[in-house]
Amino acid sequence: MLDQVNSGKKFRVINKGIPGAKSLDVVQHLEQWLDEGHADVAVIMIGRHDPRSDFIPLPWWYAWGTKMKTAGLLNKLFHSSQDYVLEKYNKFFESSAKFFADRGDVHELKIKADPEKNVIFPATSPEDTKLILQAKFLIEEKKFEQAQEILKYLDTKTYANKSFELKIEDMLGEVEYKKKVGWYVAAPYEEYMEYVRLSSAAIYDERSIWNRIHARWCNDEYIEDVEQQLLQLYAKAEDKNKEFIVDFLKTCFDKVGRQNKIIYYYDLVEKIYNKGINPVTQENYKKIIEILQKKNIKMIFMQYPTVDAEELEEILIPISENKSFILIDNKKIFKELLKNNSYKVYFSDDYGGHCTALGNKLIAQDLAKQILKIYN
């Protein structure tokens, strides 16, 4: 994109992002990356918080599920037999599951509940995870009847499994009816409100999936009633639950296209979530700036499109020399766009930190303009 908008100097971009990493990981590798790439400019975008010790670790099957899916698709390129692909896929899963079980990581997935704080963590067994991944894989292979059959064996008593079952049903529905059913699946109002009552629980790892479960039943007919009931829960909830409730309301109103409400809850969830940048992350920002200034490298900082840039600026100014950095306010750009377009046009998840291809392109275009200012 830099080369497209600039007819003179040619640029080489080195992407050294670590999705989900601690800021310390960036600090530890930064000098090596800079030396290898002979960098002139460094663009830094780190989340506001490093992982907290009281959060459940990311489920082991999440990363490995992606690898298994890739392995299955690679096999597909060389073998036309569905049975062969599925057999290889299952063997790959079983070997990785055994590896993690031997390490003891699977025990982290057991339910951890604190009734006094009303916090629920989902649990998924290795066998259930295998069924979920098989069902998704079969859907991609257009083996819809087989995918539906697998779901009969899934234990849906756990919250996580129920969420996956509903999500897979939606995927099957989209194909069956030749249209994007998405979350528009009808259900009795009483059944919907039962799920609303569950929303006072903070479900960390499955947050985005649970928003989808709730929003499946939300429509224009009773969205205001749902809003009022949830706001009553909101008034009594702890901060971690408030964020979940408000984020869900934003999802609901986005589904039915209420732009004014989307903006309202978009701002509200940001106010709840932004309680100051984590001290650990702040300290590592200092270390990053020290390294960049020592090497005389230009600095560009930006945040996720849902996070205020001013908060980051307050931290950066005291620790950088003469405000020797560029700060990009992605949130300001996206907030204007959301006035006329749906949230899902720009964001690929309900949490709002991760973008669609269009959202990423908008961030890249603005970033390219800022980089060119350095060279002009």
pLDDT at 365 over 80: yes
- Residue 211: the pLDDT is 45
Beta strands in the chain (DSSP E): 41-44, 298-302, 326-328
Q: In what order do the strands lie in the sheet with 41-44?
A: 41-44, 298-302, 326-328
Q: What is the DSSP string of 44-109?
A: E---S-PPPTTSPPPPHHHHHHHHHHHHHHHHHHH---HHHHHHHHHHHHHHHHHHHHHHTGGGGG
SS3 content of the chain, % helix, strand, coil (to 5): 60, 5, 35
- Dihedral over Cα of 19, 216, 241, 118: its sign: negative
Return the domain boundaries, the chain. Answer: 2-33+42-48+276-375, 60-176, 189-273
- What digits encode the pLDDT tens for the residues 243-262? 667 777 776 777 677 878 87
DSSP label of 133: H
Question: Is the CB of residue 170 less than 8 Å from the CB of residue 126?
Answer: no
Taking a C-beta distance cutoff of 8 angstroms, is the pair 363, 336 a contact?
no
Longest dimension (CA), the chain: 64
Check pLDDT > 50 for residue 129: yes
Please report which confidence band the pLDDT of residue 5 belongs to, taking 50, 70 and 90 as the band edges: low
Length of the chain: 376
Share the mean pLDDT of the chain.
Answer: 62
Name the pTM for this structure: 0.47
pLDDT 10s digits, 49-58: 554 322 323 3
If you average pLDDT over residues 152-162, what whole number do you get? Answer: 58
Count of CA atoms in the C-beta half-sphere (13 A) of 127: 4
Can you state the angle between helices 207-215 and 159-176, rounded to 10 degrees? 60
CA dist 241 and 247 (Å) reads 10
Radius of gyration of the chain (CA): 23
The answer to whether the CB of 37 falls within 8 A of the CB of 14 is: yes
Question: What integer pLDDT is reported at residue 219 of this predicted model?
Answer: 60
The pLDDT of residue 43 is above 60: yes
Residue 98's pLDDT is: 43
Please report the pLDDT score of residue 171 as a whole number. 57
Instruction: State how far the Cα of 193 lies from the Cα of 96, in Å rounded to an integer.
Output: 39
Residues β-bridged to residue 34: none
